[in-house]
Chains A and B, each alone.
Chain A
Amino acid sequence: MTTSTTAPAPAASRNRSTGALSAFVGKHFGVISISVVLIVLFAFFSVQTENFLSADNLVNVARQVAPTVIVAMAMTFVITTGQIDLSVGSVVGLSAAALGLWAATGNPVLALLLTVALGLVIGLVNGALAAYGLLQSFIVTLAALTAVRGIALLVTGGYSEPIDSTLIRPLAHGKLLGLYTPTWIAIAFVLLAWYVFSQTKFGRYVTAVGSNAESLRRSGVDIRRIQMAVLGLAGGAAAVAGILTAARLSSGSPNSGTMFELEVITAVVLGGTSLMGGRGSVIGSAIGAVTLGVISNGLVQLRVDVYWVPIVQGLILVVAILLNTKLFSRIARTRK
């Protein structure tokens, strides 16, 4: 860093470094608190169960959480703009079903492309209705949650479509450097989402829309395009999740992704993203999604009743949010 030669320079630069530290803690306390929760859970399950810490199990967890991580990336953008997308679970179901139907026609590559395009289109329709139709995204995507699931059931007659393509199967079962393909895809999504969210104009406008949309509009930015784009991304990400789910089961079920939207939203909120908009973290969301996966896997390893999983996930959500709003934010404030 170049500093000027004027007298107050040392004081200014010292201010900047302490300021940067408090700004860092302030900006990332959501990520810090969910990381603490994850480490504690990780340690607990490692000690309490024989199998949790085994390489096989961890590789498995990393595969299981991939769809949630992928959609949580896009959902972070949506929620940071102050919107919500309740339709992602239904889009997973329709994408899985559509992939099954289209793959049966004999061109798996085209089927994959069409499926992703379908998700994007659904997301963009949601986005257009919310941004240009001036409807609340909650209402629009609630309608889509119902309607899109209905379409999935309608086109399949309620049955799963078997997928036997040798090209689609490796998307879920292929392995590279010890990790399954979905894990690698999820990692790619996280890196890309982090870059776009924190390093580009688009990402900054996503935050600004949620923080003060009117301010951004007065700055000459088309806020409706941003609001529409993020919902389009969520639809596209949900289609990818649907593809991975169908590939893993070797069949496209119209019932895939039921309640998935709530898991994704929970992951995002766990990661410190504010439902009010203006404050989000893609890294936090990824850690949040992994935390939910670790809870369900760890409890299975503990051999407790499987019905405990949603109960514990709910409790962890409350604890993480309390840590987030009460403890870490206070630390960040006093550091100022």
Chain B
Amino acid sequence: MPTTATERPSHAQPRVEMADIRKRYGVLDVLRGVNLRVAPGEVIGLVGDNGAGKSTLMKMLAGAVTPDSGKILVDGVELTGAGPREARAHGIEMVYQDLALCNDLDVAANLFLGREIHHRWTRRLDHKRMHAEAAQDLSTLHIRISDTYQEVGNLSGGQRQAVAIARAVTFDPKVLVLDEPTAALAAKEVEMVLQLIRDVSARGVSVVLITHRLQDLFEVCDRFVVLYEGVLHRELQPSETDLSELVTAMMGK
């Protein structure tokens, strides 16, 4: 099946457009000209075997990795490759597989990292307000962490993942990229994350979900994008496909 067959009528303006993205690490061609469009509120399942380039592609969107060539547009505005700050300013938030949290800081400090609230004159951090808002944010997202003064290093894997996701969501992003968000979670916590994805996409936030738990994809995704050896191999509609076809596509067939 040619990839063009699954293209839907294009929106006037995609939320994200990545065009002809290429990246090479030494002799390794990680990405060989990938095109990806994401519509507002769309949930995309980005799948592929290990080393297919999923994480690299998404790190580029989040500004953590610079492509060798290619264009990234958010709401029609091209990113200049100025790094994570620029990507964040355009509403891109990514939760990394390796949990971008500081284990020595407490929950509230992690939620507010990079955007701390402080008094203008004394430069003093407003600890009280940050803890109060952190507790509020967590309860809005139905995340059960009783104490925002706990150091993140003392939390369980699931709690840490929840904090990382909460951190991304509280930036009020246009696009939320989740790299293996459910890998370390208990069954109950997985359902919580999936519900979180449905909630944010209903608000118009686009979500790109990278996961090896393929069954999760069928629960929340509007579209599957399959990468194989650095190229966009297939696009599939969840309603028109099943698990075995998806696995076949991931193997490059």
Chain A interfacial positions (CB closer than 8 Å to B): 1-2, 12, 15-16, 19-20, 23, 26-27, 195, 199-202, 204, 207-208, 210-212, 214-221, 278-279, 336
Q: Hey, which chain B residues are within 8 Å of A199, CB to CB?
A: 123-125
> Closest CB-CB distance, B59 to chain A, in whole Å?
9
Given A23-B106, A278-B103, A221 and B114 touching (CB < 8 A)?
yes
Bound Cα distance from A98 to B240, whole angstroms: 79
Question: What interface size band does chain B fall in?
Answer: 20 to 34
Bound Cα distance from A278 to B153, whole angstroms: 11
Given A200-B118, A201-B118, A208-B105, A215 and B113 touching (CB < 8 A)?
yes
Given A23-B151, A201-B118, A220-B85, A215 and B146 touching (CB < 8 A)?
no
Instruction: Name the residue among B96, B125, B132 with the largest chain A CB count within 10 angstroms.
Output: B125
Residue contact B103 to A23, C-beta cutoff 8 Å: no
Given A219-B84, A220-B88, A221-B114, A278 and B104 touching (CB < 8 A)?
yes
Closest 6 CB pairs of A and B: A219-B114, A19-B147, A220-B85, A211-B102, A211-B104, A278-B104
> Closest CB-CB distance, B34 to chain A, in whole Å?
22
Residue contact A208 to B146, C-beta cutoff 8 Å: no
B90-131 interface with A by 8 A CB criterion: 94, 96, 100-106, 109, 113-116, 118, 123-125, 128
Bound Cα distance from A214 to B151, whole angstroms: 18
Bound Cα distance from A168 to B138, whole angstroms: 57
Residue contact A15 to B103, C-beta cutoff 8 Å: no
Residue contact A220 to B151, C-beta cutoff 8 Å: no
Given A12-B146, A336-B154, A218 and B106 touching (CB < 8 A)?
no
Q: Hey, which chain B residues are within 8 Å of A210, CB to CB?
A: 104
Q: Hey, which chain A residues are within 8 Å of B118, CB to CB?
A: 200-201
Chain B interfacial positions (CB closer than 8 Å to A): 62, 64, 83-85, 88, 94, 96, 100-106, 109, 113-116, 118, 123-125, 128, 132, 146-147, 149-151, 154
Q: A16-B146, A202-B123 are in contact. List 15 more A-B contacts (CB 8 A).
A: A2-B132, A15-B146, A15-B147, A23-B150, A200-B123, A201-B123, A201-B125, A204-B113, A207-B104, A208-B109, A211-B104, A212-B100, A217-B84, A218-B64, A279-B104
Contact partner, B113, options A26, A219, A278, Cβ 8 Å:
A219
> Closest CB-CB distance, A186 to chain B, in whole Å?
23
Instruction: Name the residue among B94, B102, B147, B154 with the largest chain A CB count within 10 angstroms.
Output: B102
Closest B residue to A277 using CB positions: B104
Bound Cα distance from A208 to B152, whole angstroms: 12
Residue contact B147 to A216, C-beta cutoff 8 Å: no
Bound Cα distance from A247 to B105, whole angstroms: 41
Given A200-B125, A201-B118, A201-B125, A208 and B151 touching (CB < 8 A)?
no
Residue contact A207 to B146, C-beta cutoff 8 Å: no
For the A-B complex, the count of residue pairs with Cβ-Cβ distances under 8 Å equals 89
Bound Cα distance from A1 to B114, whole angstroms: 25
Bound Cα distance from A200 to B119, whole angstroms: 9
Residue contact B147 to A207, C-beta cutoff 8 Å: no
Q: Hey, which chain B residues are within 8 Å of A2, CB to CB?
A: 132
Majority DSSP secondary structure for residues of A touching B: helix
> Closest CB-CB distance, B90 to chain A, in whole Å?
12
Contact partner, B125, options A12, A23, A204, Cβ 8 Å:
A204
Q: Hey, which chain B residues are within 8 Å of A220, CB to CB?
A: 83-85, 88, 114
Contact partner, A19, options B96, B113, B150, Cβ 8 Å:
B150
Q: Hey, which chain B residues are within 8 Å of A336, CB to CB?
A: 154
Q: Hey, which chain B residues are within 8 Å of A1, CB to CB?
A: 128
Query: 20 A-B residue contacts at CB 8 Å?
Result: A2-B132, A12-B146, A15-B146, A15-B147, A19-B147, A23-B150, A195-B124, A201-B118, A201-B125, A204-B113, A207-B105, A208-B102, A208-B104, A210-B104, A212-B103, A215-B100, A215-B113, A218-B84, A219-B113, A220-B84
Q: Hey, which chain A residues are within 8 Å of B104, CB to CB?
A: 207-208, 210-211, 278-279
Closest A residue to B124 using CB positions: A199
Given A201-B118, A217-B84, A16 and B113 touching (CB < 8 A)?
no
Bound Cα distance from A256 to B128, whole angstroms: 45
Q: Hey, which chain B residues are within 8 Å of A218, CB to CB?
A: 62, 64, 84, 94, 96, 100
Bound Cα distance from A221 to B125, whole angstroms: 16
Residue contact A16 to B124, C-beta cutoff 8 Å: no
Instruction: Name the residue among B104, B113, B128, B154 with the largest chain A CB count within 10 angstroms.
Output: B104
Bound Cα distance from A202 to B123, whole angstroms: 9
Residue contact B84 to A204, C-beta cutoff 8 Å: no
> Closest CB-CB distance, B60 to chain A, in whole Å?
13
Bound Cα distance from A212 to B149, whole angstroms: 18
Closest B residue to A199 using CB positions: B124
Bound Cα distance from A195 to B124, whole angstroms: 8
Residue contact A26 to B151, C-beta cutoff 8 Å: yes
Closest B residue to A221 using CB positions: B114
Closest A residue to B62 using CB positions: A218
Bound Cα distance from A215 to B106, whole angstroms: 14
Given A201-B125, A204-B116, A219-B84, A20 and B149 touching (CB < 8 A)?
yes
Q: Hey, which chain A residues are within 8 Å of B151, CB to CB?
A: 23, 26-27
Contact partner, B105, options A15, A204, A221, Cβ 8 Å:
A204
